[in-house]
Homo-oligomer: A and B are copies of this chain.
Amino acid sequence: MNLLGTSLVPEPAPDEGSSTFRAVSPTTGESLDPAFHEATEATVNRAVHAAAAAFDEYRRTSPERRAVFLRAVADEISALGDLLISRASAETGLPEARLTGERGRTVGQLRLFADVVEESSWVGARIDTALPERTPVPRPDLRRMLVPLGPVGVFAASNFPLAFSVAGGDTASALAAGCPVVLKAHPAHPGTSELTARALLRAAEQTGMPKGVFTLLQGQSHEVGLSLVRHPLIRAIGFTGSLRGGRALYDAAAARPEPIPVYAEMGSVNPVFLLPSALRERADEIAQGLAGSITLGVGQFCTNPGVVVAARGPELDTFLKRLAERISAVPAGPMLYAGICSGYRQGVEALRANPAVEVVAEAADTDVGERLGRAAVFKTRATAFMEQPELRQEVFGPSSLVVVTEDPAETLEVARSLEGQLTATIHGTEEDLHSQRELVELLVQRAGRLIFNGYPTGVEVSHAMQHGGPYPATTAPSTTSVGTAAIERFARPVTYQDFPEAVLPVELRDANERGIWRMVNGELTRDPIRPRD
């Protein structure tokens, strides 16, 4: 399949910008063919207008048809076979086995949202039946359900070229909710993006979806993204990436004449608390697990454990020795693109240069060149960690900072000093959780997910997942960007008052033909409502 190297919008693009860019292989440093044309403001405008035109029809497609569409997207992505995996590997440096697993997650996610849409209870129907005899005033008949927001702009992430990218979680949940998607591809993997987008568009055509239900914008300038966020017809933004990038989009959206929600997942340091009992009983096991989590995918996960908190003592010394052995043995790996690699190096250099910080371990000093990330573990005292805000900032890559506390009280102080997190982890015994109740409570207030005796990397796509957290982990702590609850981000409630049965959406009619869960006069039920008199 030849790559076109353009944005994918319904109308031909005579004004497509002359400015181009190319993907660069993280393993060889070579530029890859073809050149990709940077979307212009006119391209963005055309994409959004196509999405707005599609919305009128798409929002009214039946749940069954939307489910068929989502499943067809999954099938078409699977049908790309090795072509997709090899292009993704060439553009990102990620191993084919990892990408094959990520593809499985991506198509599984699309199918899970197809199931959710088909089942239909996600619309959260609530019905209060009329009380015509009530005094002093009768109660009207009120029926409430979620309806789709409108065209959504989604920004793909660099670190998951499939699962958080073109047909990733944001796209799947927005399409499931009934919202057309204008997708801003990440410039580090434009070929992967084009392949996925064309698979998605084939599925849309096969299943009779309106033109404009999905469009792809290529570009590496900030202007393309900002034009998308500022476009008056865009109703919400999904984003996965850096704090700087996410905050810039959030600020642009908040400054619009009509502000719109920005669901930005921006990562965090994902603190891991190692309680004394855990170090005493499982030092070697935890050293192995943590080294794996720190260096998985060359450390390029939002849930990478960037801070480890433990109390001073011989157990910690033993543990650090074990961790150092593991970390030193991890070969340097290619990072996603030059910007990420140089950002990582700067972060590591800053730690090394900090007089309050010691090196615990570094991977072997091979000639890592411009593109490889080398694992490293540092340590510092809790006092320094709490005094220096820069030590609490994320260094995106395979490194971690061990914060050494003097006693349990100082451990609590460290927890209190943390900003919002995607995850927080505690290693210890069940008794520790009881005696350290305060620590658990502090972490509940700061994180979206709490993990006991596990590792933060690895985010399950399921009903009970929460992938979010207070700022700066995200800009929308009451939402998740992974799992089935993610669909709720792209909808809002509407109440119909005293509408005749026949005009109501099927989900709100007495008969409950779809058999969905509804709150009827305050009680959840799948039963129909007996016919109105």
Which A residues form the contact surface with B (CB < 8 A)? 56, 60, 101, 121, 126-128, 136-137, 139-140, 142-144, 147, 149-150, 250-251, 254-255, 258-261, 419-420, 430, 433-434, 440-441, 444-445, 447-454, 458, 460, 462-466, 468, 470-472, 475-478, 480, 484-485, 488-489, 491-500, 502-503, 517, 519, 521-522, 524
Contact = CB atoms under 8 A, between A and B. Distances in A.
B433 A139 contact: no
Contact of A128 (B430, B462, B503): B462
A150 B434 CA distance: 23
Contacts of A448: 492-495
B144 A503 contact: no
Given A480-B493, A491-B478, A498 B463 contact: no
22 contacts: A126-B463, A139-B460, A142-B462, A142-B464, A142-B465, A144-B463, A144-B485, A147-B445, A250-B254, A254-B259, A259-B475, A434-B502, A434-B503, A444-B494, A448-B493, A449-B497, A450-B497, A451-B498, A454-B498, A463-B522, A464-B495, A478-B492
Contacts of A503: 430, 433-434, 440, 452
Contacts of A260: 471
A160 B56 CA distance: 38
Lowest 3 CB-CB distances: which A-B pairs, in order? A254-B254, A466-B495, A142-B464
A101 to B, nearest CB: 7
A136 B150 CA distance: 38
Contact of A524 (B453, B464, B493, B517): B517
Contact of A464 (B143, B454, B484, B498): B143
Given A433-B500, A450-B495, 12 more contacts: A121-B524, A127-B464, A128-B460, A144-B463, A147-B445, A444-B494, A452-B497, A452-B499, A454-B497, A478-B491, A484-B522, A524-B524
Contacts of A489: 478
A499 B254 contact: no
A260 B440 CA distance: 23
A500 B454 CA distance: 13
Contacts of A492: 448, 468, 470, 477-478
A493 B502 contact: no
B449 A494 contact: yes
Interface-centre pick from A140, A433, A491 (highest chain B CB count, 10 A): A140
Given A121-B524, A450-B496, A495-B449, A502 B142 contact: no
Contacts of A496: 449-450, 452
A500 B420 CA distance: 24
A476 B93 CA distance: 41
A139 B462 contact: yes
B521 A463 contact: yes
A478 B149 CA distance: 9
A450 B126 contact: no
Nearest to A144: B464
A144 B476 CA distance: 17
Contact of A471 (B259, B458, B466, B495): B259
A450 B499 CA distance: 8
A445 B128 contact: no
A186 to B, nearest CB: 24
Given A101-B136, A444-B147, A454-B140, A493 B517 contact: no
A468 B519 CA distance: 19
Contacts of A524: 121, 517, 524
Contacts of A500: 430, 433, 452
A155 B476 CA distance: 22
Contacts of A451: 140, 497-498
Contacts of A147: 444-445
A283 B524 CA distance: 41
Contacts of A521: 463
Given A144-B465, A494-B444, A502-B430, A472 B519 contact: no
B447 A494 contact: yes
Contacts of A149: 477-478
A466 B447 contact: no
Contact of A493 (B56, B136, B466): B466
Contacts of A434: 502-503
Nearest to A503: B433
A212 to B, nearest CB: 16
Contact of A494 (B126, B466, B475, B491): B466
A460 B138 CA distance: 10
A464 B250 contact: no
Nearest to A125: B464
